[in-house]
Amino acid sequence: MKNLRDYYRVAKTMLLVACFGLAITACSDDNDDIVYSDVKVEVQAPTGISNIEYDAMNITFTDTATKETTTFDFSALQANGFQTKLIEGLYDIMIEGDATADVEGVSKAIKVRGDLQAVEITANGELQSLSIPLQLLDVGSGFVFAEIFVSGTLTPEGNSYLGDSYFRLYNNSDEVLDAQGLAILESAMQSNVHHDFFVLDQETDEEDIQAGDGTPYDTYKTNYFITDAIYMIPRGEAVLVQPGESLLLVDVAKDHSVDNANSFNLSVANYEWYDENDRYPDTQTEVPDLDKLYASSKSIWIPHQGGIKAYALAQIPAEITPEQFAEDNIVNYYYEFVYGDLQRMMTSKRYEIPTSWIQDCVNLSNQTDYEWNEISSVLDKSYAWVSDGSQGASNKGKSVRRKVLSGKLLLDTNDSANDFEQSVEANPFYEFHD
């Protein structure tokens, strides 16, 4: 009988332990739902057109945390906009497609594109409405970048080698084009460093700037491109380029393979950019120099070797002299730097050109460092890359080269991720066609 009582007592004890455990288990948090937010997107038609009818439109949401993209058919948008559910997060949103509209009184088919970057989608129980301004997309023919090589090479000994950067410009039309006045530009902003820039009407001391003063850069960039280097093909004599032919613009136009077996003979280039200065002398060769309109560097200009800037090809109007350009195209901008308690306005002074002058633009970044599109999505909605973001020298000797669409025609949709072969072995003499 005593044994029975003992077993009963033990059983009670063990039950107590088990119940206690279960009680704690029951307190564990099982709330693991993912939070969604309702989002509505509407578009603003491009300015200067009327009676727009959207045909085939797509909207793409890119989750910046995961780089996952979700694309919806947006064709029936004009009545009520587009509504969906998104997981809370930070998104880049892109809309593009075809439409018909009256342009200068004539009904014609057009392409439109618009985007919003770094949009915070948070769930507050209310519908989050977004409005995206669309712009006309000009992917016509003309001069385009066929290949961009900015990352430099390595010597056989593994040392870094400079001076052999080049840009290859290509006549992507079916007519002979004159390249005089054509300029290459490097963007002042980098695609891997994102700040909330604001553009000021005039130069202002940083102490006098209030956060939010000026025009938001996202609005400004639809009409302007801020640059820190402009080099132009000299005027005065026609520089005729046949359809499917190209011009080679290089840093130092010499046979680099003499000094570095991994480099190229650039002595046959059409132009070089030459910076006369007394800080770090440039190498002058017999190849004609480009006209330097502006470079932020006090010595020589070396395109950013990291491949994280945008490059534009702009036709500088004939009536604009270098002096006038320097006088009229200054731009002042700033962003607010915050680090803990430290806060200050970081101002910059560079030069701007209207996006209407730009014939082609290629944004560069690398696969893992890309933070934002520092140029208008109408110029380039994505980026080409020479480096996948690996630490080290994976980009050395690599360029981006435009794909061939057919025959002598190269692919140009203002979408460099699609238009370019990424991180290919640089070859300034690559044959795009027979």
Partner 1 sequence: MNFMTNQQLDRYIGLAFLTLCVCMTPYTSKGQALEHAALNYYKYAHDKAEMSLTYTYEHSPQAVVQQYGRGISQMEFEVNAFHILNKNSRLWGEVSYTNACTFDIQGTENSDYDLIYPYVIADEVGGDMKSEAYQFNTGYAWHHKRWTLGGTLGYRALLAYRDVDPRPKNTIGHLKSTVSVAYDINLTHLWSVHIGGEKYKQATGISLYNPYKTVLFYHDTGLGTDYSRFSGKGSSTDITGQFYQFSMAYYPKTDNGFGAQFDWKNKQLQKVLSGFNALPLNDLRNNSYKYIAYYVQNNLSNRWKIQSSWYTANRKGTENIFGSDASTTYEKISSRQYYNQRIYAGTIEGLYSWNLNHKHWYEIAPKVSWISNEQVHKRDHRELDYTWLVASLETKAHLLFKKSTLHLSIIGQMRWVPRATCNFDIQQYTFVNKNHIMDANHQQMMTINVRYDTPWLVADKQIYVMGSYSHGRYAESLQTHRGTCGLGIIF
Residues that bind partner 1 (CB under 8 A): 10, 13-14, 17-18, 20-21, 24-25, 28, 32-35, 64-68, 87-90, 118, 120, 122-123, 154, 158, 194-196, 335-339, 366-369, 371-372, 388-394, 396
Considering the complex, state which of residue 178 and residue 336 has its C-beta at the smaller distance from partner 1.
336
d(CA 144, CA 400): 13
**Closest separation between CB of residue 68 and partner 1, Å?**
7
Closest to partner 1 by CB, 8 vs 280, is 8
Per-residue tokens: 321: 């002299």
By C-alpha distance, which of 121, 100, 54 is closest to 81?
Answer: 54
| Short-list 80, 174, 75, CA closest to 127 | 80
**CB of residue 112 to partner 1, shortest distance in Å:** 25
Q: Which residue has the tokens 């680099």?
A: 256
Nearest distance from C-beta of residue 351 to partner 1, angstroms: 23
What's the closest the beta carbon of residue 178 comes to partner 1, in angstroms? 41
Please, which contacts does 201-207 make with residues 24 or more away whose CB atoms are closer than 8 Å?
A: 202/332, 203/330, 203/332, 203/349, 204/332, 204/347, 206/334, 206/344, 206/345, 206/346, 206/347
Q: How far is CA 179 from CA 134, 245, 291, in A?
A: 31, 12, 13
At closest approach, how far in Å is the CB of 340 from partner 1? 8
Q: In this complex, which beta carbon is closest to partner 1, that of residue 28 or of residue 210?
A: 28
Query: Would you say 168 or 221 has its CB closer to partner 1?
Result: 221
Q: Within 10 Å of residue 33's Cβ, how many Cβ atoms?
A: 6
Q: Closer to partner 1 at the Cβ: 14 or 258?
A: 14
Residue 345 CB, nearest approach to partner 1 (Å): 12
Considering the complex, state which of residue 173 and residue 347 has its C-beta at the smaller distance from partner 1. Answer: 347
Tokens standing for residue 384: 């080409």
End-to-end CA distance of the chain: 105
Query: Comparing C-alpha atoms, which of 408, 431, 419 is closest to residue 176?
Result: 408
CB of 64 to partner 1, least distance (A): 5
E-assigned strand segments in 260-383: 271-272, 291-295, 309-315, 330-339, 342-354, 358-366
Between 33 and 327, CB nearer to partner 1: 33
Residue placing its CB nearer to partner 1 in the complex, 53 or 68: 68
User: Six-digit token pair at 212?
Assistant: 């939010």
Q: How far apart are CB 78 and partner 1 at their closest, in Å? A: 30
